[in-house]
A and B are shown apart, each in its own frame.
Chain A
Amino acid sequence: MRISLLCLSLVVGLAALPVMADDMPRPTGDAVLTVSGQIEHANVEQAAVFDMAMLETLPERSFETTTLWTEGKTSFAGVALADVLEAIGAEKGVIRASAINDYTVEIPVDSVSATAPIIAYEMNGEPMSRRQKGPLWIVYPYDSDAEFRTEVVYSRSIWQLDRMEIVQ
């Protein structure tokens, strides 16, 4: 029932959006990330749906940092959020990022830099399972700058990410 409600709202939302070209390659594997809203490129019903292979075609970024939620130094690898935004043609507005348990945070596009945050898909060289905050986790290099050790950034560090919506 929840699913149907969700589907309904999606359909209503999409109907209101301007028609976009489905000019992105379609996902072939399981979808891991769905981006909707004010985007220029889409592949499935005006949304940009990524499987893991598609994410891996984007440049890989990695760093080491400690986090509040892990023990000791942890290395992360993934794609820069900025690269994803560029791939879908989102230049402004706010990203509403949601987790599989519907936890949602807002990240202004302006706050996204070329290197931080990343959408991590590997932790310590291993893919992350859902039980380990996987498969995708928005991670900042917390150790590199005090700017990344704030309440706001911690709250934006959303794990078990599965969808994003770009809104104005």
Chain B
Amino acid sequence: MSSSDIIALCALFVSVAGIWISHRLAKQLTKRNEDKLLLDELLSLLNKLNQLSSNFFLSDRRDRLDTHHFHALFLVDYAAAHYLIQTLRGKRKLSIDIDQDFSNFHRLSTENTEHINSWNTEECLQRYSQINESYLKCMKQIYDTFHQHHKP
């Protein structure tokens, strides 16, 4: 085998390796973008839930939604967020450890709220502050999971 043959073989090998690496990187990038899209959707749902809670707990009683109505709106989006989390865990293999914080978010937003109009302003503020804390914990967990799976 002549030296030009060896150079040609090396060039071929380098080209194949280059194509393989590019393909791998493209796949990783596509997966990252798809995961990011789903995570953004989840974050947007959580943000909507937090907004709903802030409107409910911080509104004047004359402007506040009826509790039954608030529960219906909150729980429908809560269920949607839950199914997104399941999808991220199952099909996208992102192990989001969020169950406890997500449950706290639900509990704080719905427990004993049937008679919220008899609560004073401080009680409403205190509850909303706890809700917001659990919301932030959920957000942090989601961002942390994303960065663990897709290193910056």
Do A and B interact?
Answer: no
Q: Give the B-binding residues of A (Cβ under 8 A).
A: none
